[in-house]
Structure 1
Amino acid sequence: MSTVSKALAIQRMVAHDATMRMLRADSIPIIASLLAAHLGRPGARMATDELFERMDADLELLRDHFDLPRTARAYCDDWRGAGFLQRRPASGARGETLELSSEAFQAIRVLDQLEEPASTVTQSRLLSLAQAIKSLAVDTDPDAERRLAALRAERDRIDAEIERVQHGEVSVLDERTALERATDILLQVRDLPADFAGVRARFETLNHDLRERILHADEDDRHVLDDVFRGVDLIESSDEGQTFSGFATLIRDPERSSALEGDLAAVLERSFAATMSTDDRRTMRSLVRDLKSNSRDVHLVLTEFARGLRRYVYSQDFQRDRALRDSLQQALAAAGPAARSVRPTADLGRELELSSLRLSTVGELVLHDPADYDTGDALADAAESQLDLEALRAIAREGEIDFAELIDNVNAELAVTSPVSVGDVLRRRPATQGLGSVVGLLSLASTYGHVDGREVEQLIWRGVDDIERRAVVSQHLFQEAIV
């Protein structure tokens, strides 16, 4: 690429790319901090009302240091228009959700790398690079003799390693090298949210391109329509769809995902893992869950686009859109010559009454029920009474799990011994909320502890009715205090 073409390409990217637009914004400290805090986690998506409420609370604190005259709703509308946020309908309920676009993920990732630059060259990275190059060279070599020689060399190396281990010569990575490799893994893991968002964006672009091809297809270019009528899933059969399907099949395979979870659990039990930060350990512990969640979200988008494309063709909606396109083109063609003789503001002597009614479906109509407006008997003023604070606290405890009490119980047990299981906590700290306390402890262990699927333990507790109950679950362990 020549210097001129390169400069023009970068100029176009600066003008139109949302990542560059976000990095060049004057308010980038506010944009990046708010979006990363609320939507920066893998697969994070939040209802608009909840997001606005949380951001408004943060804006109140930020106004002591920045000039922020607008509301969270106004800022989010601007950021959505700039391509930093994506709006989607909420599943299972009315309303909408907001999530980060792939470009916003990339911009936040760039800022994170500038704030905490990673080591440019490490032994782990060079070894991974050399191994990848060697594997590529062997796997693409058509010469059978060279392939056999490489396989024999690998077999000899494995046999020699087995013999050394059998004689008790076990070589273990030192903590510095192990930590380097874990850091390289985490750097790749942190790129996953942007990768998944990019996959969703490519599917949206592909869906739009296919609909446009269907709309503009003529008699000489009907293979897209023919493929849809034959039942071909054009989106899933595309290069992007096949690549994602291969990844989704891999991560949904129970044997492989279980093996990956076991390997991650083994890594976190090593001594060098204790030097990793809490966030890094939590990221590795939840890696498989995040991969499955993001894969499920992308697969739902893929399925929705494929069904919508087939519905668009089978319902003949594209024919209606073609007629509308032809009418608009005819109107534009007639407007060109007319514009040379008639001003846009000229009075044509005709009036066109526009409807002010909102077009909607019949399914939105709701029958009027007079009983809905019956407020019943008039309310009388209640006599003054003394409020019992303890009674109010008891009512509040019945409505939600007391996580503060559970965290105190876990931390108190960890101060005596570590690790402790949920069963250990329940034996020494009664479940004051019955099953609610048990569910709360299991939830805390899943988030802040470790779940060992290979071991089981029996939980024993007394419910609020003072009846003893038992349950057998996978072993849930707490290894460090919950802060």
Structure 2
Amino acid sequence: MSNTHVEAAFQRSAAAFKNPMLDLLHGRFAPFVVTALSMVFTPDRPKVAVADAHVEVGEVLEQLRGAGYGDDDSPWHLPAGTARELCRQWVKVGWLLPQIDDDVEVYRLSAHAVGALEIAGRVGGARTRVTTSRVRTLLDAVEHLAETTDPDPSARIDRLRAERDQLDHEIARLAAGERPEQVGDEQLLEEAENVLHLARELPADFARVAESIKAMQRDVVTDLRQDIRPTGEVLREYLQRGQQVMESTPEGRAFSGALRLIGDPERIDDLTHQLGVVLHHRFVRLLDPEQRAELAAISRRVEQGVQEVLVAQRRASHVITTQVRTHDPIRDRQVDDLLRDVMSGFHRWMQSSQRGETVEPLRSLPIADVGHLRQSLGDIRPSSTPDALADGDADADFVDADTRNWGGPHYGALEDHLAAFADGESFDLAAAFEAVPDDARRPVDLLGLLEIAHRNGMTEAETISVVEALRPDGTSRRFAFGSVTARTTRGEDQ
């Protein structure tokens, strides 16, 4: 045997022992880890809240320490530290998987931990035997593989005809009144042990499929953040991968094929019914209680495994689709550049700083110096006075009619009218308004007269005055108000 072959075999073995599953089994505290994980996580309880897991692992540790395990004279070792520290360490080495389920942080066993527990349970249970059922399982698998790969249709036809003749012979024998061939309890026990052996491998297979989907999800998100291609191209590629996530990994493709066999609810119901028939047979008394419970739970474990994979698939599709829709390459690059600048600044500062040196925090951001904006929102005064309004009819240009007639009161014309009407004496405001020319006898001009009278001093009486105002469009409007006597100072001022 050459040194090259020995070295290659050793490297393969060394790489295999780096696997978390073998690392769990050959570690110093492997008996405790297997015990704790098998007590906390069961087929009916695949996920456990983080707080509950810490408490239960702590109880296992305390009971074993109380029983004398872990002492100096004991051959079995127990780890130091609290249950929380142990669980965090198991997460770090890949035996536990933390995740959020319904807003609660939970632990799940990884595929490596499930495989390690399956191996430990198989080795610690009944001894493995070369049985008729196990050999027949192998022969049936090889025969099915050969039939699938054989391209000769005539050979397949011969095999199908042979199977049909055998089935017809069995049907005719039973129809003639003969009893079915009786199988001994020892052979049935072998068949049941083979079924349990095959069923123990399913949880680890399902866990590996779910973890491969999650790993693909992480790879897609990482590649997406580092992608510098156009956004449209990224959208098309990653949305397609998100929709076909089950076909993106070898484990997922294998599971898709298996799902076509076990995904039908009727098949699960048939499996449950068949297991019930088996459990009512007299040979079951040869199985220990744990084997009977494990045999009865096969259909439920299959259903839970399928559900776990489908949940991982839906979650990965949702995460990938959400990341793609919110992906902004420019923004991501800006964030990455900013983080790199911050880290570079920390490195430069660490080289020149001393232990215990204080850092003056940035208490406020600098204020931008913009000249045309006010410095204080409390100063409502404009920066400059507005330009004076132009005065003069020559500046007005009207198309159809003078729209100023629909404006406010003509104060100048009204004051001139009052000066001529009252000649500095007191006057009745209603009479003064009736004497106003028609073009200045609008409703707003009545308000203008009242304003002038109020400014110059007026007296109200209990009697009611009624006046008629003319609008610019020729319509009239009557107004009633308390009689007002006023005087004007226009003439006296002049």
TM range (shorter): 0.5 to 0.7
**1:215–1:318: 8 Å Cα contact kept in structure 2?**
yes
Post-superposition Cα deviations, 1:308-360, rounded to whole Å, max 9, x if no partner, equal: 1010010125654444445566888x89xx99xx89522499957389xxxxx
Residue 157 (1) aligns with residue 134 (2): no
Post-superposition Cα deviations, 1:86-106, rounded to whole Å, max 9, x if no partner, equal: 111131xx4311121111122
The one of 38, 62, 69 aligned to 2:40: 38
The one of 116, 130, 138 aligned to 1:129: 138
**1:73 paired residue number:** 84
**1:102–1:194: 8 Å Cα contact kept in structure 2?**
yes
Shift of 1:46: 1.0
**2:14 paired residue number:** 11
The one of 106, 120, 136 aligned to 1:111: 120
Code of the aligned partner of 1:353: P
Post-superposition Cα deviations, 1:289-319, rounded to whole Å, max 9, x if no partner, equal: 2221222122112101111101001012565
The one of 218, 225, 247 aligned to 1:215: 225
**1:21 paired residue number:** 23
Shift of 1:148: 0.8
**1:316 paired residue number:** 327
Shift of 1:151: 0.8
**2:196–2:295: 8 Å Cα contact kept in structure 1?**
yes
> Superposed, which structure 2 residues align to 1:48-447 within 5 Å?
48-64=50-66, 65-67=68-70, 69-91=80-102, 94-116=103-125, 118-167=127-176, 168-219=178-229, 225-229=235-239, 233-239=243-249, 240-316=251-327, 320-325=331-336, 344-347=350-353, 353=361
Q: Take 1:326 and 1:13, find their aligned partners in 2: how far apart are those partners? A: 40
| Distance change >3 Å, CA 106–CA 173, structure 1 → 2 | same
Code of the aligned partner of 1:7: F
Q: Take 2:200 and 2:267, find their aligned partners in 1: how far apart are those partners? A: 21
Post-superposition Cα deviations, 1:361-384, rounded to whole Å, max 9, x if no partner, equal: xxxxxxxxxxxxxxxxxxxxxxxx
State the SS of the aligned residue for 1:86.
Answer: strand
Q: Take 2:172 and 2:279, find their aligned partners in 1: how far apart are those partners? A: 28
Post-superposition Cα deviations, 1:392-449, rounded to whole Å, max 9, x if no partner, equal: xxxxxxxxxxxxxxxxxxxxxxxxxxxxxxxxxxxxxxxxxxxxxxxxxxxxxxxxxx
| Distance change >3 Å, CA 273–CA 326, structure 1 → 2 | same
**1:213–1:224: 8 Å Cα contact kept in structure 2?**
no
Shift of 1:74: 2.1
State the SS of the aligned residue for 1:112.
Answer: helix
| Distance change >3 Å, CA 294–CA 322, structure 1 → 2 | farther
**2:114–2:203: 8 Å Cα contact kept in structure 1?**
yes
Q: Take 2:198 and 2:110, find their aligned partners in 1: how far apart are those partners? A: 19
Q: Take 1:350 and 1:59, find their aligned partners in 2: how far apart are those partners? A: 44
Code of the aligned partner of 1:151: L
- Unpaired segments ≥5 residues, structure 1: 356-483
State the SS of the aligned residue for 1:46.
Answer: strand
| Distance change >3 Å, CA 284–CA 114, structure 1 → 2 | closer
| Distance change >3 Å, CA 78–CA 318, structure 1 → 2 | farther
State the SS of the aligned residue for 1:353.
Answer: coil
Code of the aligned partner of 1:100: L
Q: Take 1:215 and 1:174, find their aligned partners in 2: how far apart are those partners? A: 63
Code of the aligned partner of 1:300: V
State the SS of the aligned residue for 2:245.
Answer: coil
| Distance change >3 Å, CA 226–CA 116, structure 1 → 2 | same
Q: Take 1:262 and 1:171, find their aligned partners in 2: how far apart are those partners? A: 22
**1:397 paired residue number:** none
Shift of 1:265: 1.2
Q: Take 1:143 and 1:79, find their aligned partners in 2: how far apart are those partners? A: 53
| Distance change >3 Å, CA 251–CA 280, structure 1 → 2 | same
**2:410 paired residue number:** none
Shift of 1:220: 9.3
Code of the aligned partner of 2:310: H
Q: Take 1:212 and 1:226, find their aligned partners in 2: how far apart are those partners? A: 17
Q: Take 1:233 and 1:352, find their aligned partners in 2: how far apart are those partners? A: 51
State the SS of the aligned residue for 2:247.
Answer: coil
Q: Take 1:317 and 1:130, find their aligned partners in 2: how far apart are those partners? A: 56
Q: Take 2:59 and 2:229, find their aligned partners in 1: how far apart are those partners? A: 58
**2:96–2:113: 8 Å Cα contact kept in structure 1?**
yes
Code of the aligned partner of 2:49: A
Shift of 1:35: 0.8
**2:43–2:301: 8 Å Cα contact kept in structure 1?**
no
| Distance change >3 Å, CA 229–CA 258, structure 1 → 2 | closer
Code of the aligned partner of 1:12: A
Larger radius of gyration: 2
After the TM superposition, which of the residue ranges 3-12 and 102-111 deviates more from structure 2?
3-12
> What TM-score do the two structures reach when normalised by structure 2?
0.63
Shift of 1:152: 0.8
Shift of 1:32: 1.0
Code of the aligned partner of 1:11: A
Q: What is the RMSD computed on CA atoms of the aligned residues?
A: 3.2
